Structure 1
């Protein structure tokens, strides 16, 4: 091989090595940035569970994370963007803890009951921290904007999942054919709201059992008589 060819080959290898090294550094930087952003959202969610979405501030999160305001701003350009990220993270965790495990139960009433049981358990775990859906509805019920839109979108998503679970119970013949999925889902949601009020505000020790009894009464009203 000629000397010039050797030089070109060597140069290509060096440039290739530099490119791979630069790519590796960039990938690591992106991964670290994603980890930092996830940690910020986690801290913000913990804070919002205590003080509400309106209690969030870039400065407060910076103090918790040991970061400057500009460091937090590098990941979230505004307080509003941070609030929306918290709403979406809460929704992702809610789906993971409440809805996805229920899918392992057989279609129909077993799945609907698993969904309600998971929801009750999640509500009981949030007695001290609070529910972003409920506190967010109080804070943003009459305040239009992107944060309210994000809350409405996520709440509509899980309400639709409850209606589908009811519809599956109808399709399986476990509930009467004339059952209105929207009405039953509304009543199930009402039980959860009552449980949250009883447990978090009144600190009533019997709230969980009353919610279970209410659900059983609900099923008795809607269940097919021949099942």
Structure 2
């Protein structure tokens, strides 16, 4: 039997996935908490026991996708020698891996780009933690 924390985590994951799907279907501006409830199977009022607001839920959705994308690059080894010998090929290889992920995750992809295009994103972007992208930052 699952304990309370595990059940709560499973519920949060389902809500996050449903929110991304709802954004793909209704857009950010047309999104209502009821849409997320309908897709997730949770009463809209129960969503607030997992997230304090719709805005918090959307930020968690963005961070979830952002972390998934960072994970792609964590798994890709870029050799300085190979990059020096064939920079175009290395860039093509990285873009191909990234592009395949985007194509195979349509809800996440649409959500991610709509959220980044949102007028409130620049303010959020100034404060967000991006340390999970550390594998892309190489210090010499």
TM-score by length of 2: 0.69
- Give a deviation string over 1:4-43, Cα, whole Å, max 9, x none: xxxxxxxxxxxxxxxxxxxxx9x81121111111111111
Do the aligned partners of 1:44 and 1:86 also contact (CA within 8 Å) in 2? yes
Are residues 138 and 106 of structure 1, via their aligned partners in 2, closer, same or farther at CA, if it must alter by over 3 Å?
same
Are residues 81 and 63 of structure 1, via their aligned partners in 2, closer, same or farther at CA, if it must alter by over 3 Å?
same
Q: CA deviation at 1:106?
A: 2.6
Q: Distance in 2 between matches of 1:50 and 1:151?
A: 28
Q: CA RMSD of the aligned region, Å?
A: 3.5
Give matches, 1:131-210, under 5 Å.
131-140=110-119, 143=120, 148-150=123-125, 153=128, 161=136, 164=137
2:65 paired with 1:90: yes
Are residues 135 and 144 of structure 1, via their aligned partners in 2, closer, same or farther at CA, if it must alter by over 3 Å?
closer
Number of aligned residues: 132
Instruction: In structure 1, list runs of 5 or more residues that go unmatched.
Output: 1-24, 172-227
Q: CA deviation at 1:125?
A: 4.1
* Larger relative contact order (Cα-Cα within 8 Å, sequence gap ≥ 6): 2
Instruction: In structure 2, list runs of 5 or more residues that go unmatched.
Output: 84-88
Residue in structure 1 matching 2:6, options 26, 31, 41: 31
Residue in 2 aligned with 1:47? 22
Q: Distance in 1 between matches of 2:96 and 2:110?
A: 17
